[in-house]
């Protein structure tokens, strides 16, 4: 006959063996659900959805490739050669060159360009303002391009077309107003008169002679302050002039 202590020990052992069997069965099902054996039926539960952003596209080969410059436009080269060879346009060609605008004009020949070329006398009329201030004084490198590029219009327009227009767009980005005089002449921006219409007609380019160097309104006050030594009209202008002189412009 078993003793009470042995019966208690036997019951406890049986309970522990039952718990171990239950745990083994449950854990086995969990593992089987995660790692089904070969040939098992596919699960109908959809897997969780994860978003992985696509990798960045590879760097384009053209990013590292520097294309050679296009061949020079023969018509643009011819136009510049003719301007340089024309005695009456020597000062205008000089201004194009010193303002770093020749390549810009050559590029515009591809789509069409109109040049309003002041004669030599127009530059001579500026006197020391042009020869000493805009050309030789340090710090004036940005003023001359403003003036020169106001004489270059985008688009090829002969005089007959200009007589039907109220303005043309300059390469500077400012419009050039056109006024039609009673005698049939053409005045540009109220400053210059066309004295030689269509003096040169080339492929995609036309040159008109004018009698005055035009100064766009964006450069007029700068010209007055820095070349004509006009007194500043405000403390802000005085500070601008002082800063300009400190940086080598005066």
Does the pLDDT of residue 51 top 50, yes or no? no
DSSP classification of residue 165:
-
User: Do residues 181 and 163 make contact, with C-beta atoms less than 8 angstroms apart?
Assistant: no
State percent of the chain over pLDDT 70.
70
Torsion of CA 119, 201, 160, 167, to 10 degrees: -60
Task: Note the Cα 12 to chain centre separation in Å.
Answer: 88
Domain range annotation of the chain? 74-214
109-167 tens-digit pLDDT:
988 999 999 999 999 998 888 878 887 776 677 788 889 999 999 999 999 999 999 99
CATH architecture entry for 74-214 = Roll (2.30)
Does the pLDDT of residue 49 top 50, yes or no? no
Which residue from 228, 160, 245, 154 is spatially nearest to 194, judged by alpha carbons?
160
Quote the pTM value: 0.68
How far are the Cα atoms of 83, 126, 201 from residue 134, in angstroms, in the given order?
Answer: 22, 10, 30
Task: At 103, list the tokens.
Answer: 């390549």
Task: At 97, list the tokens.
Answer: 């060159």
User: Do residues 170 and 152 make contact, with C-beta atoms less than 8 angstroms apart?
Assistant: yes
Could you tell me which residue, 220 or 197, shows the higher pLDDT?
197
């Amino acid at each position: 006959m078993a003793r009470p202590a042995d019966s208690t020990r036997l019951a406890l052992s049986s309970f522990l063996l039952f718990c171990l069997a239950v745990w083994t069965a449950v854990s086995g099902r969990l593992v089987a659900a995660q790692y089904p054996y070969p040939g098992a039926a596919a699960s109908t539960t959809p897997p969780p959805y994860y978003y992985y952003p696509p990798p960045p596209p590879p760097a384009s080969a053209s990013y590292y490739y520097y294309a050679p410059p296009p061949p020079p436009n023969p018509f643009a080269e011819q136009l510049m050669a003719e301007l340089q060879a024309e005695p009456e346009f020597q000062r205008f060609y000089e201004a194009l060159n010193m303002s770093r605008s020749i390549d810009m004009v050559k590029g515009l020949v591809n789509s069409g360009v109109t040049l309003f070329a002041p004669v030599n006398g127009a530059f001579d009329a500026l006197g020391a303002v042009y020869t000493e201030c805009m050309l030789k004084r340090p710090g004036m490198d940005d003023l001359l391009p403003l003036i020169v590029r106001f004489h270059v219009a985008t688009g090829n327009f002969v005089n007959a077309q200009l007589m039907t227009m109220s303005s043309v767009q300059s390469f500077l980005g400012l419009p050039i107003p056109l006024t039609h005089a009673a005698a049939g002449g053409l005045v540009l921006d109220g400053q210059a008169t066309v004295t030689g219409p269509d003096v040169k007609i080339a492929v995609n380019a036309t040159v008109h002679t004018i009698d005055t160097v035009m100064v766009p309104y964006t450069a007029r006050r700068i010209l007055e302050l820095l070349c004509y030594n006009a007194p500043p009209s405000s403390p802000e202008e005085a500070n601008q002039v002082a800063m300009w002189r400190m940086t080598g412009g005066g």
